[in-house]
Structure 1
Amino acid sequence: MTAGFLLIVIAALLLFGPNKLPELGRAVGRTFREFKNATQDIVDDHDQSEAKKPEAAAASTPTPQPDKADHRRLPE
């Protein structure tokens, strides 16, 4: 495990150089932080919508309508 990590670090140093690595690390960190915040917002929105569903379902249940056939008359 540590040998693989060491190999990745050496490859990154060779590809990007020691001056670019801190900049790349910050960019990756910002990307992960934004992704985490976005997924947390989605989870929070989903939880809030699930909490409101029972109330909305109870409020939106239609009231029984009287049968309209009772009010119609056949022509004589």
Structure 2
Amino acid sequence: MATGTVKWYNSTKGYGFIAPDDGSKDVFVHASAVETSDFSSLSEGQKISFELERDARSGKESAGRLTVAP
């Protein structure tokens, strides 16, 4: 599982981005991933663990299975 820091998240728009700790490109996170996690929302600067998931239809990657970073 990858770890990173929430760069920004807008609950009104329903998406945001995570900056991975390994320095790779920012990862998109959708509200549906937040809703199915232990989080009610995400806050800028929050450390989280996540898995990269590929959308079968679009082929784009996003963060899923969000958990509190160890």
| Structure whose residues are more often helix by fraction | 1
User: What is the TM-score when the length of structure 2 is the normalising length?
Assistant: 0.16
Structure showing greater Rg: 1
Higher relative contact order (CA 8 A, sep 6+): 2
